[in-house]
Amino acid sequence: MRITNVRLTQLTGYLSHEGPFWEERLARPIDIYPEHHAEPPDWTPTEPDGRLRIISAFVEVETDEGVTGLGGPLSLEQAAVIGREFRPLVIGEDPRANERIWDKLYRFAVHGRKGVVMQALSGLDCALWDLKGRWAGAPVYRLLGGPTRTTLPVYASALGYSIDPERVRQRARELASQGFRAQKWFFRHGPGQGRAGMEANLAMARAAREAMGPDAELMLDCWMSWDIPYTLRMAARLEELEPRWIEEPVLPDLIEGCAEIRRAIRIPVATGEHEYTRWGIKLLLDAQAADVIQADTYWAGGITEMLKIVALCSAYARPVIAHGHSVPANAQLTAAMPAAAMPLVEYLVKWNVINQFFFANPLLPRDGVITLTDAPGLGVELDEAKIAERRELRFE
């Protein structure tokens, strides 16, 4: 079997919803500048009738045996890397030889070891695993040696919800009533907002804990927007809430700074969402900078590389809880791993409305767990009824 084509497609669809979809955003590193901290959430264009316009790219790997693999959603920038740089390298290759293809692409794009280029490699790699599963007539988790479990516990990430304490209480109760026994909430303020921002952050976290109750798991995400002194002050006050972890307190390149925080506070530290490949994750592990590693399957190198990352982390006794860009890919990988190595799946509640919008059967949690199916590959198919516009992307 040989790859005959790598097709890239841009899909446009329209999501109807009641009320504002994005109620609030998280803190960002650039928010140390007041003019940027004041910016509202603007992730998805809104049509005049209030619908969200969703634009996503997908990659399809075609073969001479008629078997096709699907990867995505991708950004247009990632699709361009696949079309311009990677496509010529994989035409004629055996799509089942994922290790060979991964190594070729990595060596070719050595200046793209992080960021958009590695994300593009990840999306293409996931498409190849989908193809391999379809060729074998089996879900990817079986090809990876699983399943170790038939259901996977999920935690709900409340990105995009209001951080007003009363609204947080309401939403946290709603998520708990849906069966989520763990929730993650996102801070809106950092060092640039001073004591007032600190108090607002604390009010949000306390409201979530009060609504969830003492037995639920609470995670708190700083999205790399704090610094060391601010984190130490906040952690001292958050400790009474007993968070399962505090996430990504400082910029990703401040590995020693993250390790310093981990040594100084009594709350576990999670990070790695914005790190790439086994080599980047090894820097975190060697520095003892994290209790939980959060590499993203669709960013850190795809399923092929995540297998190495999970094995590496297991040697350091650090669990991997993959960042939740792609629930279908993460669930396949998690299902194949021992629970100690990959204990949870992240479910970004609002982002999954968008990231799984074009799928015919989005992978949704029920009562706080995901139940696996026997669908071949990654178990995803595009829903033609949701596609308002389709445009083939050409990068000659």
Helix (H) or strand (E) holding 347: strand 345-348
- Please name each of the domains of the chain with its CATH number: 3-137 (3.30.390.10), 142-371 (3.20.20.120)
Residue 140: per-residue pLDDT = 98
Enter the pTM of the model.
0.97
Active site residue 323: yes
181 alpha-carbon distance from chain centroid: 19
Instruction: Please write down the long-range contacts of 381-389, taking CB distance under 8 Å and 24 or more positions apart.
Output: 381/70, 382/11, 382/58, 382/70, 382/358, 383/358, 383/359, 386/13, 386/357, 386/358, 387/11, 387/12, 387/13, 387/358, 388/12, 388/13, 388/14, 389/11, 389/12
Q: Spot the catalytic one: 37, 189, 274, 323.
A: 323
CB 236 within 8 A of CB 264: no
What's the length of the chain? 396
The pLDDT tens digits along the chain (396 residues) read 999 999 999 999 999 998 889 999 999 999 999 999 999 997 888 888 889 999 999 999 999 999 999 999 999 999 999 999 999 999 999 999 999 999 999 999 999 999 999 999 999 999 999 999 999 999 999 999 999 998 999 999 999 999 999 999 999 999 999 999 999 999 999 999 999 999 999 999 999 999 999 999 999 999 999 999 999 999 999 999 999 999 999 999 999 999 999 999 999 999 999 999 999 999 999 999 999 999 999 999 999 999 999 999 999 999 999 999 999 999 999 999 999 999 999 999 999 999 999 999 999 999 999 999 999 999 999 999 999 999 999 987
Residue 43: per-residue pLDDT = 80
CB 305 within 8 A of CB 102: yes
Q: How many other CB atoms are there within 10 angstroms of residue 142's CB atom?
A: 18
Vertex 332, ends 329 and 333: CA angle to 5°?
90
CB 305 within 8 A of CB 277: yes
Instruction: Extract the tokens encoding 291.
Output: 């209790």
* Side-chain half-sphere CA neighbours of 109 within 13 A: 26
